[in-house]
Amino acid sequence: NAGVTQTPKFQVLKTGQSMTLQCAQDMNHEYMSWYRQDPGMGLRLIHYSVGAGITDQGEVPNGYNVSRSTTEDFPLRLLSAAPSQTSVYFCASRRTSGFTDTQYFGPGTRLTVL
Amino acid sequence: AQSVTQLGSHVSVSEGALVLLRCNYSSSVPPYLFWYVQYPNQGLQLLLKYTSAATLVKGINGFEAEFKKSETSFHLTKPSAHMSDAAEYFCAIAGGGTSYGKLTFGQGTILTVHP
């Protein structure tokens, strides 16, 4: 198993540009989520999905969209990039929504918005 | 709302010394608690988790944590630090009927190990 994969690893955008961060998992996990990591703030939940076709907002959803058309993929879209979205983005997956299941993280995408 | 607070953004120890990373939580329902480790330029990896079974939880790489309800704490310890333990450590909390698996993370503690 490749686990949780994310592309790209690095990205530089100009303010106002849009882009999609890709996330895929090959473990047939129901639950997937996106976090952003900023210095001194830990990880904050952006959006999550409990299954194909079902998504919901997390703690910091503004400026981001998600969809889940398949079990494997959970892309994160930045609609109009802003410097405040400069961050490291992590995708994670878990077998179910249950807390006892281990959550697996991807390697991250480092995004800079100029 | 649930939250965790990690006391100390940076902890420095000598190789072979005790590692103690502090985490206190706030929750109105019985919590599930986790410790994750992040090595430079990598994603997070689960060290251990408390899911209301044994209060003393053993994890990977010789780490353990004890759930203390009276102190609302879940501190991470390791008897003898190794150079390879240098990383950032995150405490996280989850729980509650409609939270749908959401984890709330602390601010992180960077552990430095000196030779």
Task: Please tell me which residue of chain A has the smallest CA distance to B31.
Answer: A99
Cα–Cα distance measured from residue A18 to residue A11, given in angstroms and rounded to the nearest whole number: 12
pLDDT at A22: 98
Residue in B with minimal Cα distance to A4: B43
Average pLDDT over residues B1-17: 93
Interval B32-59 mean pLDDT: 91
With contacts defined as CB-CB under 8 Å, which chain B residues touch A56? 100
Asked if A40 and B106 come within 8 Å (Cβ–Cβ), the reply is no
A73 class by beta-carbon count within 10 Å (0-12 exposed, 13-18 middle, 19+ buried): middle
For the segment A92-103, what is each residue's pLDDT rounded down to a tens digit? 999 887 777 788
Q: If you count residue pairs, one on A and one on B, with CB atoms under 8 Å apart, how many are there?
A: 61
Q: Is B31 on the interface with A (CB under 8 A)?
A: no
Percent of chain B that is helix, strand, coil (3-state, to 5) = 5, 55, 40
C-beta atoms of A99 and B106 within 8 A: no
Please tell me the predicted confidence (pLDDT) of residue A73: 97
Residues 65-94 of B with CB under 8 A from A: 90, 94
**Predicted confidence band at B96 (pLDDT cuts at 50, 70, 90)?**
low
Report yes or no: B106 at the A interface, CB cutoff 8 Å. yes
Is the predicted pLDDT of residue B53 greater than 60, yes or no? yes
Across the interface, whether the CB atoms of A40 and B104 are under 8 A apart is answered no
* Mean pLDDT per 10-residue segment, chain A (114 residues): 92 97 96 92 92 92 96 96 97 84 90 97
Band (B66; pLDDT cuts 50, 70, 90): very high
Question: How high is the pLDDT of residue B51?
Answer: 85
Chain B interface mutation, best of A43, A59, A60, A89, highest count of B Cβ atoms under 10 Å: A43
Q: Go through chain A and tell me how many residues it has.
A: 114
- CA–CA distance, B61 with B11 (Å, rounded to integer): 18
Q: How far is CA B19 from the centre of its chain?
A: 12
